[in-house]
Amino acid sequence: MSSTLDSPTPLKHTIESSQGLSVLKLSDAAVASKRVAREIGALIRQRASENRNCVLGLATGSTPIRVYRELVRMHREEGLSFHNVITFNLDEYFPIQPNAAQSYVRFMNEQLFDHIDIVRTNIHIPNGTIELEAVPGYCRDYDELIATTGGIDLQLLGIGRTGHIGFNEPGATRDTRTRLVKLDTLTRVDAVKDFGGMDQVPLLAITMGVDSILQSSRIRLLAFGEHKADIVQRSIEGPITSTIPASYLKTHRDVQYLLDDAAAECLSPSTLGETPQ
């Protein structure tokens, strides 16, 4: 099993490249979330008008909740249909039952899927109930399925305080694919609020890899609050390194960070396109 898990070393540094990166500081989380929801809505409608599917990569956690709320509102009040939408979620704890309070299947149903007209068979979330032996094959199939649907058009991301995207924790290299990973201690500490105690937090998760994420056509990363400010600064202004998997996003051709004031607080004025006073 250990061969399927990331080892925290060695660290990899690559050349800086951030031409496809844009960083937006917005007045608050609500404004940033609405902006992303509008972009997603426009993409779904454009694809529908071309009789094509729209493939979305989705995240869980506290950060994207307002985006999902806004998408549900657009469905109810503006007739946005999800009939042509296919979704792939980033990750799931392992093992976990889908009806567990902390399961990402349950989260996605409650926050989004139960309130829109998506075709249930178009929803894909890593399965936290499969046998350990079946995980490597399952993960290969997950990446293959993303590819055969035509790839992810827009990937929504949050960022963990470890610098993880999905559950690609420090040590995850640029070429990682969907796989079983060990959760970082800091990530598990942050999950205690959901599980009630450190001993209840799973040690493992299935996550799309860094490379799986970077295959997406567009990536939109949301980060809110001062507890994200330091890692946001290091992932944008620091070197590209496996110590901070989010730093690999700088190699992507179309990635946007949407931040509130607090999460942008450690960034230099030049990153934000501001003129120093």
217 in helix, strand or coil?
coil
Site for ligand F6R in 224-243 (CB under 6 A): none
36 contributes a contact to ligand F6R by CB under 6 A: no
Binding ligand F6R by CB under 6 A: which of 7, 22, 62, 185? 62
61 contributes a contact to ligand F6R by CB under 6 A: yes
91 contributes a contact to ligand F6R by CB under 6 A: yes
Between vectors from CA 62 to CA 56 and to CA 65, what angle results, nearest 5°? 50
Query: Does residue 205 come out as left (phi exceeding 0), alpha (psi in the -120 to 50 range) or beta?
Result: beta
Tally of CB atoms within 10 A around 102 = 18
For the question of residue 169 being annotated catalytic, the response is yes
- Residue number of the CB closest to ligand F6R reads 158
176 contributes a contact to ligand F6R by CB under 6 A: no
Catalytically annotated residue among 110, 131, 169, 226:
169
Binding ligand F6R by CB under 6 A: which of 21, 37, 59, 264? 59
The strand order across the sheet containing 21-25 reads 21-25, 255-259, 218-223, 154-157, 54-58, 85-89, 123-124
Site for ligand F6R in 124-163 (CB under 6 A): 158-160
Please check whether residue 258 is in contact with residue 219, taking contact to mean a CB–CB distance below 8 angstroms.
no
The catalytic site residues sit at 169
Q: Residues interacting with ligand F6R, by CB under 6 A?
A: 59-63, 90-91, 158-160, 164-167
